[in-house]
Structure 1
Amino acid sequence: MNHKILSGALLLAAAAFSSAAPAADDPAAAVAKAKAPVVQWQAPPAAPAPAKGKTIYVVTCTSQGIGCVRAANGAKEAGEKLGWTVRVIDGKGDPGTWNSAIQSAIAAGANGIIIDAVPPMLVGDGLARAAAAKIPVVSIFNPPPDAGSPVFAYVRPDHRAQGVLMAKWVAADSGGNANILVVEDKEFPELNERVAGFKAEIVQCGQCKIVGSIESTIGTMAQRLPGAVAAELMRKAKADYIVAPFDSNAFFVTEGVRQAGRSGKVKVAGYEGDPQAIQAIRAGTQAMTIANPAEWMGWQAIDEMNRAFGKAKPANIPVAFRLIDRSNAPATKGWLGDVDFRADYEKLWGKK
């Protein structure tokens, strides 16, 4: 397939399309638009010649966060295409481990560090040491860095727009009459952005109500979340939608729905488009996901790292996303995007 290379105004238009849901759209129209394939590669500016012999460390949020594992796998694959060594460290969902991992990477002589769903504000000491050592840092999933941040570039979707789209889906799917439980993991700023976007938009849905909130953390969700969901469903018998902050979390939400005897009566929705979520959607145990092409994000992070090595400006291109439900769930494991981004990046880097 020939993919149109975007630049300037066209790139901005594509970024707006990837955010899926203009406020003026009615919910059904916004959902239909967001379900369409992402058929254009959002091309960054011309890239510097690939640097040689680099060693990159990727610090993931946790091995339980499938989205960040997928992104790390993408970064490793892309880095190896450039002849680099890419080492992945499991952050284990713990800020102390995240900081020590960054410091270990510095001590090991890393040329670059990727923080993968690791909130920059929780690894300030590590990032300060990386900056002092003149080691570039690229962020995946997190919101844009504040002014003065040592983070060179960020690779992320518009999380708030994803929350808005989620609210439009609930409104359209429920016919404007939903009783919603929201699961919140407040550790991660991007997840807070999703919740904020959802809450701001859901008030536009006539008879939709948020009837409860369930707090969760990535480190404890496997042990605690199913029971917490089951207990909340006992208290909120009218609840018929649960919005999880990401798909790994939605897996345990679904187990809580089963424990409460509410399977088939409560619709579970999530974000990321991870393999187990796509499988659950095809099986009918999860209703939908707002999917990110996580492996593509890993490739994009490596491209940003090469820009840092080449003294170029960061591209900071917004990541495209797509609403996936049973009608358009891919047969492949996870949603990877609908273009051959690997070939496009290799061509950009002069590898094809």
Structure 2
Amino acid sequence: MSPGPPRAATPSRNGLPGARPGRVARCAVALLATATVLTGCDHGSARHAPGESATGPSGCPAAYDTARASVARAERADVPWNGPTTGPRAVTGKSLVYVAQTMTNPGVAGAEQGVREAARIVGWNVRVIDGGGTPAGIQAAMGQAVALRPSGIVVGGFDPGTTSQQVARAAAQHIPLVGWHAVAAPGPSRRPPLFTNVTTHVQDVARISARWIIQNAHGRAGAVIFTDDSIPFARTKSRLIAAELATCAGVHVLAYENIPIPDASTRIPREAASLLSRFGARWTHSVAINDLYFADAAPALRAAGAPGAGPPFNIGAGDGDPSAFQRINSGQYQSATVPEPLTQQGWQIVDEFNRAFSHARPSGYAAPVHVATAGDSHGATTWDPAGYRQAYRKIWRG
């Protein structure tokens, strides 16, 4: 099926929530809220078919050049360790409880594996309590964690504000909390009270995933965003993605699909089939806040005869679990991911707790973004940058 001229976007069943202030963000919101072409932002680009432009081969020459340069930098795998090299010697005899939003979330599970690996090095005990992806389950898991009176609690991938009573009890018992993707920004948090939050900078992840679409599409795309607005981190990320896509006049967001991660396996197959029916060849690219959306979309795309190598060309804006790399390396319904260095972040969580136990300040580290494709992953099934194990071991030895 050959692509036809872009038409006004059909409204998604899920409207785009408010975005950052500013003209770009307002245009992104207007696109999805009113189901119109980016009036005031796209400068009439809807009159041209994909691949054509009144200004050249790209629908947004300046944004395309910026995107191409940014993606080329992010695809480099030979980046030296730029994290902490000093800190307190490892304390002994500590215990951690890792409270998981859901262990079916590959990012949550991957970070937990890194915590276990690092904890073995320093001789700490780790226990995992799975919240099952529901508010009641997460609250019960946090309550159980506090009742165990561990040395520290990991807030694994959920908003600690939804467990405010349990968080308050932890604070009263002087149990430090370290988050993984618990709030939108890396570093310490006063409200909710986290010693620190371990994550990449969400704005960097959002920007590079959107720019990958812009450069891959040469500035001409019909994109779908998959997100889970129940997670503040994910909601922020998807809003920023929409805003960055809006910087390219030739990229149109066709739909904003708000599907909770625990529901993805049941909802995504039929949503993907519906999107194919509604948009056909106009759906050229997708971006999801988590790679698992594409694992669940693959059967519907395959059944509809969509080629595994795309279109649609799909990029995950986190978390880069092994199954995502396998889909990318085999050309099966995912082209790229912006992976979190999950094992490294697990080691960082242990180091941050060690700083808390030693009455030191948090490290303030946030890993730089990376884009993994079949061309630069070289068959790897995870993004595991070099240098951090040696650096942390040296710190902990004192």
2:219 aligns with 176
CA shift, 1:38, in A, is 5.1
CA shift, 1:140, in A, is 0.8
1:343 aligns with 390
1:123 aligns with 163
Distance 2:82 2:387 in 1: 12
Contact 1:114-1:138 within 8 A present in 2 as well = yes
1:298 aligns with 346
**Aligned partner of 2:200: which letter?**
P
Identity %: 29
Tell me the secondary structure at the aligned position of residue 128 of structure 1: helix
Tell me the secondary structure at the aligned position of residue 84 of structure 2: coil
1:234 aligns with 277
Give 2:197's match in structure 1, choosing from 150, 154, 165.
154
Tell me the secondary structure at the aligned position of residue 265 of structure 1: coil
Give 1:43's match in structure 2, choosing from 67, 74, 83.
83
Q: Deviations over 1:52-107 (max 9, x none)?
A: 11110011121211111010010011112111101112221122222221221221
Question: Measured at CA, do residues 32 and 220 of structure 1 come closer, stay the same or move farther in structure 2, by a change above 3 Å?
Answer: same
Distance 1:53 1:341 in 2: 23
- Identify which range, 217-226 or 118-127, moves more after superposition: 118-127
Contact 2:77-2:376 within 8 A present in 1 as well = no
1:85 equivalent to 2:140? Answer no
Residues 276-287 of structure 1 correspond to what in structure 2 (within 5 A)?
276-285=323-332, 286-287=334-335
Contact 1:59-1:118 within 8 A present in 2 as well = no
> Is there any run of 5+ residues in structure 2 with no aligned partner, and where?
1-62
Distance 1:149 1:219 in 2: 24
Distance 2:381 2:296 in 1: 19
Distance 2:171 2:181 in 1: 20
Residues 1-352 of structure 1 correspond to what in structure 2 (within 5 A)?
26-37=66-77, 39-44=79-84, 46-142=86-182, 143-144=184-185, 146-237=189-280, 238-263=282-307, 264-270=310-316, 271-285=318-332, 286-337=334-385, 339-350=386-397
Distance 1:345 1:51 in 2: 13
Contact 1:45-1:315 within 8 A present in 2 as well = no
Question: Measured at CA, do residues 38 and 131 of structure 1 come closer, stay the same or move farther in structure 2, by a change above 3 Å?
Answer: farther
2:54 aligns with none
**Aligned partner of 2:211: which letter?**
K
CA shift, 1:253, in A, is 2.3
Contact 1:277-1:289 within 8 A present in 2 as well = yes
Q: Deviations over 1:157-185 (max 9, x none)?
A: 01122111111111111111000111121
Distance 1:90 1:128 in 2: 20
Tell me the secondary structure at the aligned position of residue 376 of structure 2: coil
**Aligned partner of 1:269: which letter?**
I
CA shift, 1:25, in A, is 6.5
**Aligned partner of 2:315: which letter?**
A
TM superposition score normalised by structure 1: 0.89
> Is there any run of 5+ residues in structure 1 with no aligned partner, and where?
1-22
Contact 1:293-1:320 within 8 A present in 2 as well = no
Contact 1:160-1:196 within 8 A present in 2 as well = no
CA shift, 1:45, in A, is 5.9
Q: Deviations over 1:127-164 (max 9, x none)?
A: 11110111000001232465343211111101122111
Tell me the secondary structure at the aligned position of residue 236 of structure 1: helix
List 4+ stretches of structure 1 deviating above 4 A: none
1:7 aligns with none
RMSD: 1.8
**Aligned partner of 1:310: which letter?**
S
**Aligned partner of 1:182: which letter?**
I
Tell me the secondary structure at the aligned position of residue 134 of structure 1: coil
TM superposition score normalised by structure 2: 0.79
Tell me the secondary structure at the aligned position of residue 349 of structure 1: helix
Distance 1:147 1:153 in 2: 9
CA shift, 1:250, in A, is 2.1
Tell me the secondary structure at the aligned position of residue 377 of structure 2: coil
Contact 1:278-1:333 within 8 A present in 2 as well = yes
**Aligned partner of 1:222: which letter?**
S
**Aligned partner of 2:253: which letter?**
I
CA shift, 1:261, in A, is 2.8
Distance 1:312 1:24 in 2: 44
Tell me the secondary structure at the aligned position of residue 81 of structure 2: coil
